[in-house]
A and B are shown apart, each in its own frame.
Chain A
């Protein structure tokens, strides 16, 4: 078996462990990109979807284009990972979704053996006029906690366009996670940023989601769901700036603390520069809601089982 095949199979296995369907990685009808450390193992186009990848000394540079008017039937599959215990992977990416196009992306980032791994994701995302993009990113980390994950995204959404993202890191140790997403939302456009993370041991989580509601009647939601246990620390900054008439933004943060040594904070920042814009926020941080726990206990679950059900639900 060649090194390539071995690596492809090992990545596929980790991909499957993260919840992905490995068959999709070798399905010629599905556009996709698989990067193991700094090596492109697979790059496949599909009608209306072009993927241009280039290996760099530190990782990979990729440009993914969805042609105008194209409705991509099957989600584009992306898989990034580092299999060795140590290494740095920098993914510099650009996503261009043409006018009127519609696409969804399923990204899996896998670091099953990480002891000292750094994963940097620097994305520029442009969603064209009346286009729609859904981007789901699921992480699968080992239990060592030796991962540094630094995803940055600068998103622009054209008139009438929509962008929805879901970031999930609930398997394995989060390590050090610093998310920084910023969206420039155009007229009548919609942006939803959703992050869900389960932090354990000494994990350090920092999430910054910023919505710039620049277009008339633009709408945005910055949502985060964090569970922090052991000595985990978490800080969530949800920011919304209403710069246009009729703009509506909402920041929604829930952080649950399990155990006496975890620390969480939530910082909503709302700024309105147009008196016809409206921004709201809600945050709940602390222990699991007592009424939820007691309700489940009244159905026969133990206290611990009840807390698990609540936690699993919010991270789902």
Chain B
């Protein structure tokens, strides 16, 4: 099967420090692909590289989306091709209502995307209570993350990168978020689900384990989860330098 996303030998060095090493990752159409790793192993950095955020241009290798090399493409250019990112801690916006925010997401969808109210329902937020709320500090962390996911849904993306959608979320909200992830996949989108929790990764079709800025294994999420549970530990300095990773089979 032809991949939607291919990372080919992707490396990233920041101020002389190597954060990602020779990443090779292939995400298939319609699959939920979990990236499992401890804090500081490069998961969010990987998300930033794929989305093309400023300061995260690969220093080696390339990012290929649906057969096109997008390594040099802007964030907007990637979004227009169907890639989007839900941040681990989403930005807040003064004076922008939830309804308007979700409309902006639809703007990025070639087909227009579902209306804001529908997207809110998909993440379990009642539209009558949320459409007029402002996307600012008055939303709790959990509400903001659900709104972020609703915004992703409104784009009908081909590839959604969800950076730790489970962090800071209660159990009930988490179920809603996982339901929304399944909706994305059911609609044919691929989902890159970044997490440090085995239980979340278990909901994926495939998983890759990331450690010290490199992919160690890719395969069945339960097997990857077992590997993660048995071998991984907190990286002591945020990111373990390549070659010093002590936890492999």
Binding site for B on A (CB under 8 A): 225, 254, 289-292, 294-303, 309-310, 312-316
Provided the pairs A290-B54, A294-B54, A295-B87 are in contact, do residues A300 and B155 lie with their beta carbons within 8 angstroms? yes
A300 to B90, CA, bound (A): 16
Provided the pairs A291-B87, A294-B75 are in contact, do residues A299 and B96 lie with their beta carbons within 8 angstroms? no
A254 to B92, CA, bound (A): 14
A107 to B74, CA, bound (A): 44
Contact (Cβ within 8 A) A313 B95: yes
Nearest first, the 3 A-B pairs at minimum CB distance are: A300-B108, A313-B95, A316-B95
Which chain A positions have C-beta within 8 A of B95?
Answer: 312-316
* Stretch in B33-41, B77-85, B214-222, B228-236 with 4+ CB within 8 Å of A: B77-85
For residue A297, which residue of chain B has the nearest CB?
A: B75
Which chain A positions have C-beta within 8 A of B92?
Answer: 292
For residue A304, which residue of chain B has the nearest CB?
A: B76
Provided the pairs A294-B53, A294-B54, A313-B96 are in contact, do residues A302 and B91 lie with their beta carbons within 8 angstroms? no
**How far is the CB of A167 from the nearest CB of chain B, in Å?**
16
Which chain B positions have C-beta within 8 A of A309?
Answer: 93, 96, 104
**How far is the CB of A148 from the nearest CB of chain B, in Å?**
28
For residue A289, which residue of chain B has the nearest CB?
A: B91
For residue B96, which residue of chain A has the nearest CB?
A: A313
A303 to B53, CA, bound (A): 12
Which chain B positions have C-beta within 8 A of A289?
Answer: 91
Which chain B positions have C-beta within 8 A of A290?
Answer: 54
Contact (Cβ within 8 A) B84 A298: yes
Binding site for A on B (CB under 8 A): 51, 53-54, 74-76, 78-80, 83-85, 87, 90-96, 104-105, 107-109, 151, 155
A299 to B155, CA, bound (A): 7
**How far is the CB of B15 from the nearest CB of chain A, in Å?**
18
A312 to B90, CA, bound (A): 19
A254 to B53, CA, bound (A): 24
* Total of A-B residue pairs, C-beta within 8 Å: 67
Name the residue among A225, A254, A301 with the largest chain B CB count within 10 angstroms: A301
Provided the pairs A291-B91, A292-B93, A313-B94 are in contact, do residues A297 and B107 lie with their beta carbons within 8 angstroms? no
Q: Which of A291, A303, A312 contacts B76 (CB 8 A)?
A: A303
A289 to B90, CA, bound (A): 12
Q: Which of B75, B93, B94, B107 contacts A298 (CB 8 A)?
A: B75
Q: List 5 A-B contacts (CB under 8 A).
A: A299-B107, A300-B80, A300-B109, A301-B79, A314-B95
Which chain A positions have C-beta within 8 A of B78?
Answer: 298
A315 to B76, CA, bound (A): 25
Q: A296-B104, A297-B76, A315-B95 known; 11 other A-B pairs, CB under 8 Å?
A: A292-B91, A292-B93, A297-B79, A298-B83, A299-B104, A299-B105, A302-B76, A303-B76, A309-B93, A313-B93, A316-B94
Which chain B positions have C-beta within 8 A of A291?
Answer: 87, 91
For residue A300, which residue of chain B has the nearest CB?
A: B108
For residue B109, which residue of chain A has the nearest CB?
A: A300
Which chain B positions have C-beta within 8 A of A310?
Answer: 93
Contact (Cβ within 8 A) A301 B104: yes
A302 to B91, CA, bound (A): 17
Which chain B positions have C-beta within 8 A of A316?
Answer: 94-95
Which chain A positions have C-beta within 8 A of B75?
Answer: 294, 297-298
For residue A310, which residue of chain B has the nearest CB?
A: B93
Which chain B positions have C-beta within 8 A of A315?
Answer: 95
Contact (Cβ within 8 A) B94 A301: no
Contact (Cβ within 8 A) B74 A297: yes
**How far is the CB of B86 from the nearest CB of chain A, in Å?**
9
For residue A295, which residue of chain B has the nearest CB?
A: B91
A86 to B84, CA, bound (A): 53
**How far is the CB of A245 from the nearest CB of chain B, in Å?**
28
**How far is the CB of A304 from the nearest CB of chain B, in Å?**
10
Name the residue among B74, B92, B93, B151 with the largest chain A CB count within 10 angstroms: B93
Contact (Cβ within 8 A) B151 A299: yes
**How far is the CB of B108 from the nearest CB of chain A, in Å?**
2
Which chain B positions have C-beta within 8 A of A314?
Answer: 94-95
Which chain B positions have C-beta within 8 A of A225?
Answer: 94
A301 to B95, CA, bound (A): 18
A251 to B241, CA, bound (A): 44
Contact (Cβ within 8 A) A301 B87: no
A295 to B94, CA, bound (A): 14
Which chain A positions have C-beta within 8 A of B85?
Answer: 298
